[in-house]
Amino acid sequence: MSGSTIITAPAQPVADHQPHGSTRTLALGALGVVFGDIGTSPLYSLKESLVGPHPLPVDQPHVFGVLSLVFWTMMLIVTVKYVLVILRADNGGEGGSLALLALIADRVGERRWTGGLVMLGIAATALFYGDAIITPAISVLSAVEGLSVVESGMTRFVLPLSIGILVALFTIQRHGTARVGALFGPVMVFYFAVIAVLGVTNIAAHPAILGAINPWWALNFFLLDFRLAFLALGSVVLAVTGAEALYADMGHFGRRAISIAWLYVALPCLMLNYLGQGALILGQPDTVQNPFFLMAPAAARLPLVILATLATVIASQAVISGAYSVTQQAVQLGFLPRLRIEHTSETAIGQIYVPLVNWALLILVVALVLGFRGSGALAAAYGIAVTGTMFITALMLGVLTVSVWRWPRPLAFTLTGLFVVVDGLYFTSNATKIPDGGWFPLLVAAIAFTLLTTWAKGRQIMRARLAEGAMSAELFARSARGSLERVAGTAVFLSSSREGVPHALLHNVKHNKVLHERVIIVTVLIGKVPTIGADARLEVQPIDDRFVRAILHYGFMDEIDVPAALSAIRIDGGPLKPMETSFFLGRQTLIASERPGMALWREKLFAWMVRNAESAMDFFKLPTNRVVELGSQLEI
């Protein structure tokens, strides 16, 4: 069976994967893509903290306490943890849980605890899918609910309009987001400017609200009522949902651009808006039901609803694109079967579209909107996936600082301990919301985790079963030299292993009793770096004068094109011609058995995933009319 193996190509130069463009341009793009989610948090975060599942008295100690927690959460989690520390952990310019996992695994090699680390990385990826479903639902709903503030009679339109926007958003994905993406930055700059102006206007009426950034108010909140303060953390953390996007999207914009966009635009504008909401609430306690829209004058509320809806669509687009990228990484690193991945831009490597992921997300997002019917109810489900991912990232950061960066242990342990405690508190607080909706992202994550681990384990078992009857290439070449008739042409056999003879080749000889004049065994290896330079793509290992093994090295963000890579091989003085070459693929029909390996139900699940994987012919871009598939049965 053709496939790919997670292995680091030895001494392979990594291609330059740094983003191109001026810092100003990249920072503008980052505002549009990276900060869409965290930028729309003011629509619901403060409201849910005060009138959510655990309502707080609308008085100075509680409002100041919540605002102080919001400010210091942004400073500790976003500014210190992500901007100042984690953004330095780039894997060839790429970020995100899987990129961080690959970076650590590549540097430390196989150790006793690396298996647990892999499980953490997979868990973070699984939690991301839960977040990717809830973010579009809560963001769009919270914006469209502003219609109720404009005119109470429009409340009945909130649900159908939200679903319509979401369906339209997912439907246009197949056309690519390059053109729409060009508008993201300017729209979000205008959005951030508007929410900052609204904040300043309300702060001017109650300037004493600025004192809320004093950490004493956060401490006083806990001293006043520890239980309510602890439970409030579950809503306060909604102010930093999307922080993981800073790291995941680093490959598109770079650390410097993201840092500048956060420190000089997003952070001050967000805090001004939160403080303005607090000032409004203290002056008019009844506005606590929807302070974001009530900050604006009556005449400006409808335009604000439209602007907020645009911002939430942008936030949703960012997380949808992120789901595509994470899926591509998971496929390349061997955690998911081959999937159909379409490139929607000829110039931007990150512009991809994954149909299966797109439609699965749409179905689940619409089901979520219909099931919860409001942003307040959805807020109970939101947060646990985000805080779970943040907690796992903090643990992986501890391994990174000690084993890869070689920081002094006191510094590494102190910093990691701080992040683990803070993220642990937020995760624990959100865990109290599991009965009220937090179960949903955990259910999605559990399903994703099962699929990811089943595929990785199943491939490992299948390779072991195939290796049991394998023959060395050298032995095969010697035995075939004088005993088999040679036919004209070149045959390429794809193999998942860089050792032995692929089963497709053995089956071809067994049934057809012939061997082509020139035989190439091709193995595709996916490295633990995002991209590998074209000059290091091909590695040729001669077996005899007419029999070679070709190893193709790719990064986990590279597009795989086997015929293009093989064009560098010279045969009889000329290049390999794809339309004069036969490509042989092995297709195994898997039979679940009681043999040691996985539980029987997981073996059946793996066999189902194999049957429904994207064709190797399409995935490796083989010429349609030059492919021969040879099937066999394999018991696992």
Q: How many Å separate Cα 348 from the centre of its chain?
A: 18
Report all structural domains of the chain as residue ranges with CATH numbers, in order of start.
34-349+364-437 (1.20.1740), 468-635 (no CATH)
According to the model, what pLDDT value does residue 11 have?
38
CA distance 94 to 352: 16
Average pLDDT, the chain: 84
According to the model, what pLDDT value does residue 1 have?
40
Query: Per-residue pLDDT averaged across 133-152, rounded?
Result: 87
Burial 116-147 (b: 16+ CB within 10 A, else e): ebbebbbbbbbbbbbbbbbbbbbbbbbbbbbb
- pLDDT, one tens digit per residue, over 441-468 is 899 999 999 999 999 998 888 888 777 7
Query: Per-residue pLDDT averaged across 117-133, rounded?
Result: 87
Residue 4: pLDDT band (50, 70, 90) is very low
According to the model, what pLDDT value does residue 325 have?
81
Answer whether residue 346 shows pLDDT above 70: no
Give the residue, 424 or 500, on which the prediction is more confident.
Answer: 424
Answer whether 229's CB lies under 8 Å from 61's CB: no
Residue 7: pLDDT band (50, 70, 90) is very low
Answer whether residue 536 shows pLDDT above 50: yes
CA distance 186 to 190: 6
CA distance 58 to 274: 15
3-state secondary structure of 454: helix
Answer whether residue 505 shows pLDDT above 70: yes
Residue 81: pLDDT band (50, 70, 90) is very high
According to the model, what pLDDT value does residue 358 have?
92
CA distance 209 to 60: 9
Q: What percent of the chain has pLDDT over 90?
A: 31
Answer whether residue 3 shows pLDDT above 50: no
- pLDDT, one tens digit per residue, over 184-216 is 788 899 999 999 999 999 999 999 999 999 999
Q: What is the largest CA-CA distance in the chain?
A: 95
Answer whether residue 18 shows pLDDT above 60: no
Q: What percent of the chain has pLDDT over 70?
A: 91
437, two tokens? 């909706």
Answer whether residue 179 shows pLDDT above 80: no
According to the model, what pLDDT value does residue 106 have?
74
According to the model, what pLDDT value does residue 613 have?
85
According to the model, what pLDDT value does residue 351 have?
67
- Which DSSP symbol is given to 532? B
CA distance 445 to 331: 17
Residue 5: pLDDT band (50, 70, 90) is very low
Residue 486 phi/psi, 5-degree rounding, is: -95, 135
Query: Per-residue pLDDT averaged across 181-186, rounded?
Result: 72
Among 165-179, 532-546, 613-627, the range scoring the smallest mean pLDDT is 165-179
Answer whether residue 8 shows pLDDT above 50: no
Most confident of 258-267, 558-567, 623-632: 258-267
- pLDDT, one tens digit per residue, over 372-401 is 888 888 887 888 888 998 899 899 888 888
Provide the pairing of β-strand 514-526 with 485-494: parallel
Q: Is the pTM of this model over 0.85?
A: no
Residue 14: pLDDT band (50, 70, 90) is very low
Q: How many Å separate Cα 378 from the centre of its chain?
A: 21
CA distance 234 to 247: 22
- pLDDT, one tens digit per residue, over 544-601 is 777 888 999 988 878 888 988 888 787 665 677 777 788 988 877 777 777 767 888 8
Among 28-42, 91-105, 250-264, 290-304, the range scoring the smallest mean pLDDT is 91-105
Answer whether residue 251 shows pLDDT above 90: no
